[in-house]
Amino acid sequence: MADQIQLSLLKQGHKVWNQWREDHPEVKPDLVGANLSRAELYHTNLEEADLQDADLQDANLFKANLFRANLNNAKLNGAKLDLAYLDEITAVKAQFRNASLKDATLYGGDLRESLLWGTNLYNTVLSFAKLQGSTLWDANLTEASLNDTDLTGAHLQSANFNKADLSNARLIKAGMERCTLVKTKLDGAVLEDCNVYGISAWDLDLSKLKQQNLVINSDPEAPLIVDNLEMAQFIYLILNNKKLKDVIDTITSKAVLILGRFTEKRKAVLDAIREELRKQNLTPILFDFNKPASKDLTGTVETLARLSKFIIADVTNPMSIQHELAYITKELTTTPILPIKLKGSKTYTMLKNLKRYPWFMPIYEYIDQESLIAELSEVIRPANEKADSYRQES
């Protein structure tokens, strides 16, 4: 039970209490089980106070000093702890439901199995805190510092980690369904054996995140597990969004990549090919680039090529698409490539080496734009049929 004399002094306000603390620095306040519900304890010095099992629900602890206080099993539901100093507190199984700890510091605090459901922890410092098994459902952890925090087995459903720092945090076996991770810092964090169903993850650097065994569905009887947050969102969308599946099917069954570096003089040919492909119920994708080959550019070409049914490559200009064309011809073994060129124009000798690949079609030479468009359905027919045969084989 709480020391009744101390409790009486505390209820006289923070000025009386703080003066008593100054006069008796050797005394560690005994407030075990005290009823301090709705108490005005702002600016109050509760350093190293024993508040185990205390009722602090809806109490005003604004800027209170709770350094190394014992809050085990204490009830702080709805309490106002904004800017409070709670470094190294012990709050095992404490209840902070719907409390506000905005801008508070809980550096190194022990909050294992605590209830922080709906708590506002905006810009709160929780670095090196122990939060194993704690419940932070719907908690607002925007811009919070959680670096080196142990969240093993924590219940983080629908928590908001927008711009939070989770560097070196441990998130093993954490429940992260419907969490928001936008611009969250995850350097060195460990994300393993977590349920990330419905997670919203954007603008993240995952290069230094250790991640594996992430469950992306809500069926405990048949969990679907991947090892990457980005893959988790993508796979889930493909499996559960019929419209997205239809879009992907449409792209891969109808898309035609038109590849080349087209001069202003020859733009009309490009536009005419694109319009004719549309008339034939195909979806043209134009990639008209004017800079030299680069790793990023080649990667973009490869991505577009993998999404396409077949490729039309303009090889009229000897300087055009040599590197990209050679790369995708060797890498994409089931995507027909149809090279075209203006009759009489020069091209590069490398094309001879590409002709040995069965998906690299014979070069079609056209006399002028009008004849090319007039015959385009027949020009593309071999590539179209070969693409259909590849799809059937797979």
**Which residue, 74, 70, 72, is CA-closest to 92?**
72
Q: Residue 362's domain spans which residues?
A: 244-393
**Which residue, 212, 252, 208, is CA-closest to 232?**
212
What is the residue whose two structure tokens read 């998906």?
359
- What span, in angstroms and rounded, lies between the C-alpha atoms of 50 and 72? 9
**320: in domain:** yes
Contact (Cβ atoms closer than 8 angstroms) between residue 206 and residue 185? no
Please, how many CA atoms are within 13 Å of residue 287, restricted to the half-sphere of its CB? Answer: 23
What is the residue whose two structure tokens read 């441990």?
170
pLDDT of residue 318: 55
- What span, in angstroms and rounded, lies between the C-alpha atoms of 75 and 115? 9
Helix, coil or strand: residue 262: coil
**359: in domain:** yes
Share of the chain above pLDDT 70, in %: 91
**126: in domain:** no
State phi, psi for 160 to the nearest 5 degrees: -105, 110
- What span, in angstroms and rounded, lies between the C-alpha atoms of 324 and 313? 10
Q: How many Cβ atoms from other residues are within 10 Å of residue 25's Cβ?
A: 8
Q: What is the CATH number of the domain that holds 308?
A: 3.40.50.360
**331: in domain:** yes
**267: in domain:** yes
Per the structure, the count of domains in the chain is 1
pLDDT tens by residue, 154-197 = 999 999 999 999 999 999 999 999 999 999 999 999 999 999 99
**355: in domain:** yes
Task: Output Rg (C-alpha) for the chain, integer angstroms.
Answer: 32
DSSP 8-state assignment for residue 368: S
Residues of the chain with pLDDT under 70: 238, 240-251, 261-262, 265-266, 287-297, 318-320, 394
**379: in domain:** yes
pLDDT of residue 292: 44
**364: in domain:** yes
**Which residue, 271, 268, 340, is CA-closest to 310?**
340
**With left for phi above 0 and alpha for psi between -120 and 50, is residue 148 left, alpha or beta?**
left
- H or E stretch including 310? strand 310-314
pLDDT tens by residue, 350-377 = 788 888 899 999 999 999 989 999 999 9
